[in-house]
Amino acid sequence: MYAECILLLGIGTYNVVTEPTVMQKIALSNLVIDINKAIK
């Protein structure tokens, strides 16, 4: 799960650089959701 969080973080950063719009928000939302799952 930790590796997946790092991967999503990288994807989110990539989206911020290329197209900081809807894709960014989706990536960040998915990252938060996965982190919450990992913590529980």
What are the sequence ranges of the domains in the chain? 2-39
Q: Which pTM was predicted?
A: 0.41
Cβ proximity of 15 and 28 under 8 Å: no
Instruction: Give the chain's largest Cα–Cα span.
Output: 32
pLDDT at residue 3 in the model:
74
Length of the chain: 40
What is the 3-state secondary structure of the chain?
CHHHHHHHHHHHHHHHHHCCCHHHHHHHHHHHHHHHHHHC
pLDDT at residue 29 in the model:
86
pLDDT tens figures, 3-40: 776 777 776 666 555 555 777 778 888 888 888 889 87
